[in-house]
Structure 1
Amino acid sequence: MPYSRSDGAWPLRHLVLFAVVACGFAVGSGGTLQEAAAVDKSYRVVDGTADARTYNGYRRYHAGCNHCHGPDGVGSTFASSLVDRPLDIEEFRRVVRNGRSSGGASVMKGFANDPNFAPYIDDIYAYLQARSEGALGRGRPKRVEP
């Protein structure tokens, strides 16, 4: 039966079929189901070894962000955890560039003009996403050798 719903929604059977085909394509093209599910991940960690971007995010995070947000993004008495309730990438970029105020005593300055952080926001996000999702534990990760 052709697609003809007036509300524009896809029938459940079409969504299930699409998911099965997408996973089959990923596996058939040399990928794994884990890689198929990781399409929206900004990091790549295999057996505790981080890709260059994620490792650089670890380095950049620990060069400045950890002073307020604690080691490994777990938070401190001064600033919130960045791994317990992670932001989506667009919100993260906005907050890092522009800063944020909670209306009280908590204020984070913006880093849009800081050459040590602004160009590496996505790398820092990759590291924090890997931490948040349990792909990386605490401490310095191993890194893929170039």
Structure 2
Amino acid sequence: MYRVVDGKVDARTYNGYRRYHAGCNHCHGPDGVGSTFASSLVDRPRDIEQFRRVVRDGQSSSGTSLMRGFADDPNFAPYIDDIYAYLQARAEGALGRGRPKRLEP
């Protein structure tokens, strides 16, 4: 789903990095490592279907909202798979922390 060559990423993974850092990092920490109130997205990655569902619909526990859904957000909903590609590259160790460089087309 992602492509990393010599530390450079494909356009989709780069876009996922940009989208993640435009909104997700506020709760889930820089580079997906988690924070004091939101889990790491690289230590225990979800499968793609579960990730899509949680991002679209949000997540709650015992009636308490843990994360709002982004299904109606045009800045995130169309790019869920790109964000997932970025987080998978991080989780699998193919990509380090920080802004990746983009592969030339």
- Pick the TM interval, shorter chain: over 0.9
Aligned residue number for residue 45 of structure 2: 86
Aligned residue number for residue 117 of structure 1: 76
8 Å contact kept, 2:5–2:103: no
Q: Cα gap change, 1:112/1:106 in structure 2, threshold over 3 Å: closer, same or farther?
A: closer
Distance apart, 1:65 and its partner CA: 0.1
Matches within 5 A, 1:1-146: 42-103=1-62, 107-146=66-105
8 Å contact kept, 2:56–2:70: yes
Give, in whole Å, the separation in 2 of the partners of 1:115 and 1:82.
Answer: 22
Q: For structure 1, which runs of at least 5 residues remain unmatched after alignment?
A: 1-41
Secondary structure at 2:84's aligned position in 1? helix
Hey, which of these two has a bigger chunk of strand by percent?
2
TM (norm. structure 2) is 0.96
Give, in whole Å, the separation in 2 of the partners of 1:70 and 1:104.
Answer: 24
Give, in whole Å, the separation in 2 of the partners of 1:123 and 1:137.
Answer: 17
Secondary structure at 2:72's aligned position in 1? coil
What is the number of residues matched between the two proteins?
105
Give, in whole Å, the separation in 2 of the partners of 1:110 and 1:67.
Answer: 15
**CA RMSD after TM alignment:** 1.2
Give me the identity figure in percent. Answer: 87
Larger Rg: 1
Q: For structure 2, which runs of at least 5 residues remain unmatched after alignment?
A: none
Higher RCO structure, 1 or 2 (CA under 8 Å, sep 6+): 2
Distance apart, 1:105 and its partner CA: 5.6
8 Å contact kept, 1:60–1:124: yes
C-alpha distance after superposition, 1:67-122 (max 9, x if no partner): 00000000000100000000000000000000001337661000000000000000
